[in-house]
Every structure is written in structure tokens, then in C-alpha cells.
Amino acid sequence: MAVLYSAGITMLLLGPYVNAEPAQSTELVSTDVPVSTDALVSKESVTQVAQDEPQPPWLTDDETAPPAPRTNSATFESRYRYCTEKAWLDDAYCYLNYGVDSTANTINSWFLHSRSDPSVATTSGRLRFGWEPRSGDLSEFDLRFRIRAKLPGLKDRVELLLSDEEDNINQQDIKAAQNSDLSANDRAVVALQFKKNKEDHLSYRIGFGRGSQLYTRARYNNEISISDATKFYYYAEANYYSGDKFGFEVDGVVSTQISPNTAFELTNSFQYRDNREDWYWRHEARYLVLGKNDTSYLFTAMIDGLSRPVYRKESMLVSARYKRRILREWLYLEIEPFIVWLREEDFRTSFGIALRAEVHFST
């Protein structure tokens, strides 16, 4: 599975270059790249429980949702004519977008009813490179990616997802704070997601995840407005993995916008796996402050654990993250000092700092 997965990533990012090169031109490109992360651009966004769940107006994950489908196929070709005309950083970013965009549109073309159909697939995603040294472990490196494509050839009811990790409740920014029993196999996801229509609250997914396991799942998500400033978001999921068998997940988030520049989020999550016959649980509180000059500050406190042999904690984390857009609209820098306590280390206090660079892209 690892070989297949690596080959899939290579094909997605580099495959279009084998038989196609962007045409040369001095024409400038459209700059419609995502610029929102942790509400750096929009003062109405910060974190999200899962990528396919309804997003709080000010709380969203570090990933912008795919834009509306484009309908002019000529736009696709003209977007990349300038690739070799730019500085090396912009050139690399252009070819990254071209590779992902071209592959998504190739897949979308398989489902078009006629060659004259002008529908163009849309993609969004991120690449994150991080180093998270801490006392006792200076070699903790982290590479994450997530790519999502919407296929208008299937009336936008199907999405293609390629990621290095599940979008479940064990997803933590600090790698050391991830539950080791759960994260060991949660690193490869290739899946198709289906909805009866774009507004439906019930979604279905089939693909490969948790290593080489074939899986399917059904998830219902919705939101409840408690007040103008407070909303409750939740989802419930049933899934089946070829290795882990049946499982369930429930997640609830209370999000409150305190002011135009501050927000608070409280998350409670539970996950059951049939092969383990116990529950993984997590409670987390986050407080966001939006600063000036495209900066944000995110303060986090988290505790998680298992239900067996008794209901007990496995790890605790407190952190403060500084995030800023630098050099380009699509490039972000993160600095996150943290303190973590792990059961496997007898809850010894471990101090660390996470240094990350993150690239966002959207077509």
C-alpha cells in the first residue's frame, strides 16, 4: 500500500509534466489562491473538526474549501502559461498547481458526457513541513499534505481526497500529542466521497485508510445556532475497516465569537474501534486572537485518553501558536511553543517548539 500510495502522490503532482508543458507567454496569471488560514485573512475563520463538516463562520481548519467550479476550459490553459517566466519560488508553486489541477481535470474528463462540456474540476489543499524538537526528542519531523478535488462531471456530488492522515478526532497539530495507538496506521487516505446533493448533511466515503485497509463510512453532520455568536457543530459516523472492523465516532464543538477579533471553541470527541473494544476520547479548548498584519495567535489546551483498562488520560498538551503569512499570499510560517505530558513517558514534563512552513493552493 505504501508503494501504491507513494506512486499515487507522484502521479498527482508530477504526472501532467510527462506529456504536457505549460505554453510560454508573458501573460500574467490569475492570483486566486487561498489566503485564509486560522482567520488570517477572513476575520471569520479558525478551526474545523473535519474537512467535510459544516464550518463555523469564524472557526475553520487550516484549509480553504474548494472554490466554485470554473466553467471556461480556456481559463485552465491560460492560468499556467507564465510558469517559467517567474522567480524560482513562484515557478515551483505554479508547477505544483498545474500538476494537481491537470490531474484533477483528467479524472473529471472521464465522467463528462461530451468533449464540448466546459466544466472544469476545482482543487484545494495544503503542504506542511515541520520540525518539532522537544526535550527528550530533537528529531521529530512532520510532513503533511491534503488535497481535495471536486468533480463537476459528477455534478459536484463526488469528491476525491488524497491525504497523509485521517480527518478524525486524533488529528493534532503537535505530532507528539497524537495517540500513538491510533496514529500508527492513520497515515494514508485515498478515498471518494459521495453526497446525494451538495447541501445534504449525510455523506458516504469509500477508499483506503489506516495503512492498507479498505474502508467505507457514513457520516451525518449538522449545526445548531444557539445565538448570533454561538453555534453547536456535531457529527456522528459509522465506519467499517477491513482490519479494524466496525467503528463509531461522535464529535461536538461549541464555537463562540467573542468579538470580531477573538473566538473560543470547546471540542469533545469520542471514537470506538471494534478490534480494540474501547473508546478513545479527547477534550480540547482553543482561544483565537486575530492580530494585525496577517497574524493570528491560537492558544490550546487538550487532554485525551482511553476507556480501558479504566477511563484514564493518555496525554495532555498546552500550546501557543503564532501564525503569519510571509513573502507570498499562499505561504505561511508557524511558531508554536508547547508543553506535553505523555503516559508512555510517565507524564514527564516535556518542553518543545514547533517550526512549520505551510503552502496553500487552490484552483
Lowest mean pLDDT among 11-20, 29-38, 172-181, 335-344: 29-38
Cell of 35: 489566503
Q: 326: which 3 cell numbers?
A: 510571509
- Model confidence at 351, in pLDDT bands (50, 70, 90)? very high
Strands in 151-209 per DSSP E: 158-163, 189-195, 202-209
* Domain count across the chain: 1
Biggest CA pair distance of the chain: 66
Q: Measure the CA–CA gap between 271 and 292, rounded to whole angstroms.
A: 38
DSSP letters spanning 65-94? PP-PPB--HHHHHHTTTTGGGS-HHHHHHH
Identify the CATH number of the domain in which residue 38 sits. Answer: 2.40.160.40
pTM here?
A: 0.72
Residue-wise pLDDT for 265-308, tens only, equals 999 999 998 877 888 999 999 999 998 888 999 999 999 999 88
The boundaries of the domain holding residue 319 are 2-362
Residue 153: is its pLDDT beyond 80?
A: no
Does the pLDDT of residue 257 top 90, yes or no? yes
